Amino acid sequence: MPSHLQETRRRRTFAIVSHPDAGKTTLTEKLLLFGGAIQMAGSVKSRKTSRSATSDWMALEKERGISVTSSVMQFPYEGKIVNLLDTPGHADFSEDTYRVLTAVDSALMVIDCAKGVEERTIKLMEVCRLRDTPIMTFINKLDREGRSPIELLDEVESVLGIACAPLTWPIGMGKRLKGVYHLALDEVHIFEQGKNFTRQDSTIFQGLDAPGLAEKIGAEAMRELREELELVQGAAPSFDIDEYLAGRQTPVFFGSAVNNFGVQLLLDFFVEHAPSPRPRATTTREIQPEEEKLSGFVFKIQANMDPAHRDRVAFMRVCSGTYAAGMKMIQTRTGKEVRIANALTFMASDREIVETAYPGDVIGLHNHGTIAIGDTFTEGENVSFTGIPNFAPELFRRARLRDPLKMKALHKGLAQLSEEGATQFFRPLMSNDLILGAVGVLQFEVVAYRLKDEYNVDASFEPVTVTTARWVHCDDPKKLEEFREKNAMNLALDAAGELVYIAPTRVNLQLAQERWPQVRFAATREHA
């Protein structure tokens, strides 16, 4: 088999989705430990401490107890290459999360056993649903008193509408936690506090009748386990790979991330069954990962990742072919040819130059304002990957500058930060206002903080009478011109120079739509 094929098939690219505090960061850290990346595990943790070196403005994250950055972590495990795409946890950054989820082949859902299915989990599952993304589930914090496992599975099934196939089953919970039973392997893994639970240093019993097991966990726990298993094995479906790959069934694991308990069982199963890179739709055809020509799309842009570099990085997911340092690619939106000599990979906080990358991998391209979210790169074919949306913002504010001489810097800062996609920047045709749109209030605070920190601009955001925005398209250039003249008061250009209708009220938008049937008002801007 050619190495491109081998490399493609051993890629596992995924993201962890969860409600804040369910344990995503802790689990990420443990997964990285298994990947032999101990120092990386440390740096994930440090995101929540003041030692974070990646960017100064993370001080804001710390104050607010949120994580606003995403990164990409690659590690080898059992002959596979795992790419874990981090997603920001706070609700205000959900757009960013949506786009990260367009770049993965599967997802891992983390649920707190005391809290069950929470609001963010529901939202994120809806996004996974859109693309039938296969999902594995980890029910976390078994070392604490939680809800009964059967009740938790019921909730996942009824609230999230996905069948649960338990792969491990908890033996007790909280102070009574004895271990987990692996249904497929028929093994009991004992929970022993304070140990680092790799397969090598855990106590494993083969089968429920194994000598010594009943003594180890106690007769009461043994009886309870048998009862529950009888119930579960009768009622719950067993794991079905096709159902899982179609996004209709989720294999479920129980454990405790902070104790590293049950995590390796999950990871072993994940690398064996989670999908390798899948085909992707473009404007003209489906591109297969096995194809030899390189293609990929940009799903995320981040400004000033490293304050010392003052740069912007575009994250491109490779969809087919092989990236080799120094190769030429076409940016299909502009038709421009670019030579990529120094793409980056992100081993947590350390950046390294990559020589080669395969489907499923993410590479970082230096961006000088010419790359936009959703851009496709190929070796020549004129196609664009679809399904990477830019949502219409729901909140709008006008930027107000304290020092008028800083206008140019403000403009630059807003434009560059908007490239990241979490906020959008509009310049009305008829005024000198700079209007920022976002999906959450917190984003204005983050932008104000970053403007000061990264661009030395003191700005605040004040209310403006804009309720919603729609990207405007019209096939008839004359009609469009007429529309433009008559509605100039409500029109603006976005950061990419596209025409946008900024409606003062919903009623106004509705009237405009009725009056101009030839004009399309799009709620998302799909970069194509």
d(CA 65, CA 80): 34
CB atoms within 10 A of CB 464: 18
Judged by CB under 6 A, the stretch of 14-22, 418-426, 467-475, 513-521 that binds ligand GDP is 14-22
To the nearest whole angstrom, how small is the minimum distance from the Cβ of residue 258 to ligand GDP? 3
d(CA 415, CA 14): 30
Question: Does residue 451 contact residue 410 with C-beta atoms inside 8 Å?
Answer: yes
From 184, 232, 258, 327, residue interacting with ligand GDP (rule: CB under 6 A): 258
d(CA 66, CA 423): 17
What is the size of the binding site for ligand GDP (CB under 6 A)?
A: 17
Judged by CB under 6 A, the stretch of 141-149, 275-283, 414-422, 497-505 that binds ligand GDP is 141-149
The answer to whether residue 250 forms part of the interface with ligand GDP (CB under 6 A) is: no
From 30, 141, 427, 450, residue interacting with ligand GDP (rule: CB under 6 A): 141
The answer to whether residue 20 forms part of the interface with ligand GDP (CB under 6 A) is: yes
From 5, 10, 21, 208, residue interacting with ligand GDP (rule: CB under 6 A): 21
Exposure string of 283-307, with b = 16+ CB inside 10 Å and e = fewer, is: eeeebebebeebbbbbbbbbbbbee
What is the chain's percent helix, strand, coil content, to nearest 5?
A: 30, 30, 40
From 257, 301, 410, 417, residue interacting with ligand GDP (rule: CB under 6 A): 257
Residues 246/252/258/263 CA torsion (nearest 10 deg): -80
The answer to whether residue 262 forms part of the interface with ligand GDP (CB under 6 A) is: no
Site string for ligand GDP, 26-45 (x = CB under 6 A): x-------------------
SS3 221: helix
Could you say which residues in the range 87-106 bind ligand GDP, by CB under 6 A? Answer: 89
Question: Does residue 112 contact residue 141 with C-beta atoms inside 8 Å?
Answer: yes
The answer to whether residue 71 forms part of the interface with ligand GDP (CB under 6 A) is: no
Judged by CB under 6 A, the stretch of 176-184, 198-206, 256-264, 373-381 that binds ligand GDP is 256-264
Judged by CB under 6 A, the stretch of 13-21, 76-84, 151-159, 337-345 that binds ligand GDP is 13-21
**Closest to 123 measured CA to CA, from 439, 373, 421, 443:** 439
Q: Which residues contact 331 (CB under 8 A, 6 or more apart)?
A: 337, 338, 370, 371, 375, 376, 377
To the nearest whole angstrom, how small is the minimum distance from the Cβ of residue 414 to ligand GDP? 29
To the nearest whole angstrom, how small is the minimum distance from the Cβ of residue 50 to ligand GDP? 16
Chain centroid, CA 260 distance in Å: 23
From 23, 149, 413, 421, residue interacting with ligand GDP (rule: CB under 6 A): 23
Binding residues for ligand GDP, rule: CB under 6 A, are: 18, 20-26, 89, 140-141, 143-144, 256-259
